[in-house]
Amino acid sequence: MPGVMTTKGRVKYIGKSVSAGLAATTLIAIPSCTRPDNRPPNFIIIFTDDQGYNDLGCFGGTHVNTPNIDRMAAEGVRLTSFYVAAPLSTPSRAALMTGSYPRRVGLPKGSRHAVLLSNDIYGLNPDEITLAEALKKNGYATAIYGKWHLGDQKVFLPTRQGFDEFFGIPYSHDIHPFNRKKFIYPPLPLYEGERVIELEPDMDYMTKRLTDKAVDFIGRHRDKPFFLYLPHPMPHTPLHVSPDYYKSVNDSIKNKLALEDGFVDYTTRRLLFPQVINEIDNSVGEIFNALRKYKLDKNTMVIFTSDNGPAIGSAAPLRGRKGSRYEGGVREPAIFWWPGKIPSGQVCDQMLSSMDIYPTLARLAGAPVPGDRVIDGKDIWPVLSGEPGAVSPHERLFYHLGDKLAAVRAGKWKLHRTVMGGEELYDLENDISEQHNVADDHPDIVKKLGHYMDDFEREMADPSKIRPVGNINMFREN
């Protein structure tokens, strides 16, 4: 039965004093003791789609203009070794929502494709206890505005996984009739709750509509704890911006896009990338304005990151992009912000994971983490809050391509096992771009990390350690 408070990953901090800015007490197993008042903090997760490691000014990108997010980084902590659990949307989101590896929850891929498609028989199993459910049980108001991508059948919708409100699309917006690739898709639905309110919504206005919903939600819930999940469909292809941002697009691009008639010019739309990122940045600014307006900025943690590496943007200096086993596929630009609790202007290179968000937020909220199942994520609050000497709780993190284990990182070392049976070893501290395979120079490291991979494979083959995917056939009456 869920609801058992696990102390795993926390007990090691018992007895240590809490860093400056927190109540002067110790982190025993009562999470609420970290708060100066009785109100748990609000949480906002801004989760963009296919944004690369280099696609923010504060991560070195000169092709984008992101003053609001850069300010967020200056006021918070910038994480430079923050990993999502998969280089594609569906499995990455499954990990964020469950704090578990995608294979652990049976969703490393869709039933027909690498991600879920429309009318997929798969979805995140309703038996999973999502982050939203954990927080909701503890009195939080919850909302998702944006792209879900964990199942489009009714039983898999976010409203069935702990979200009070859903406004957005069930999967990527290129899954629509204009995409003339290998599948035929129905019109893209826009949901409000469990109701389809539009078909083929005008994606030019999507970022703006989601932002307006987010600002409205913050205002409506200023007097109670909330969890706002904002998974922007942008900058996933095809790119769209609202008219205010389209103004700065150059005329040759505008002239080409003026010819779109019953089709989407994916190629030309790629050139809207700077404007799309700028509109997302402005959205972040509007959310901070709302937090300040309602005086919630001292009691709200805001997280900004993306679901996987770039399809259009840049992961420089990392090797690989969306879908890749290399760092560019899964190492994401990440910023955590909470004035007075997270030290400002910090850069942290500890190896951390999007799976850690669940147990960390649950702990801060005083919400139970399911104790009847394996949660791979760890409580990283000691690292985020700058506790002296705090280090990553992860000795190792695994990389996947679909349901195939592709690599492992432990400390500065990363071992790949390729489909052809080859092994590549990289020293990420000195070779972040994974250019120099040093496997032959370090057979002991190769052996040690190889054992980690073998152990993980054994675990994934143990039915008691993994959970089944949601399958619509479970819910059909015979």
Residues that bind Ca ion (CB under 5 A): 49-50, 89, 307-308
> Which CB atom, from 50 or from 279, has the smaller least distance to Ca ion?
50
CB of 354 to Ca ion, least distance (A): 12
Q: Are 87 and 402 in contact (CB under 8 A)?
A: no
CB nearer to Ca ion: give 323 or 370: 323
Nearer to Ca ion, 89 or 125 (CB): 89
Pick the closer one to Ca ion by CB: 61 or 309.
Answer: 309
209/322 with CB nearer Ca ion: 322
Output the smallest distance, CB 422 to Ca ion, in A: 28
- Least Å distance between CB 308 and Ca ion? 5
Distance CA 88, CA 290 (A): 31
Q: How far is the CB of 427 from Ca ion (least distance, A)?
A: 29
Distance of CA 429 to the CA centre of its chain: 24
Residue 276 CB, shortest distance to Ca ion, in Å, is 14
The distance of closest approach from Cβ of residue 171 to Ca ion in the complex, given in angstroms and rounded to an integer, is: 11
Distance CA 145, CA 353 (A): 23
Least gap, CB of 147 to Ca ion (angstroms):
8
Distances 106 to 13, 150, 264, 423 between C-alpha atoms, Å:
32, 12, 34, 27
- Taking the least distance from each CB to Ca ion, the nearer of 89 and 360 is 89
Nearer to Ca ion among residue 61 and residue 310 (C-beta)? 310
Question: 188 or 296, CB closer to Ca ion?
Answer: 188
Give pairs for 385-393: CB < 8 Å, separation 24+: 385/18, 385/19, 385/21, 385/22, 385/341, 385/342, 385/343, 386/19, 386/77, 386/342, 386/343, 386/346, 387/13, 387/16, 387/18, 387/19, 388/19, 391/350, 392/350, 392/351, 392/352, 393/9, 393/356
Place of tokens 């679909």: 402
What are the contacts of 188-191 at 24+ separation with CB within 8 A? 189/152, 191/157, 191/166, 191/167
Burial of 358 (0-12, 13-18, 19+ CB in 10 A): buried
Closest residue to Ca ion, based on beta-carbon distance: 89
DSSP notation for 235-251: TSSSP---HHHHTTS-H
CB of 21 to Ca ion, least distance (A): 34
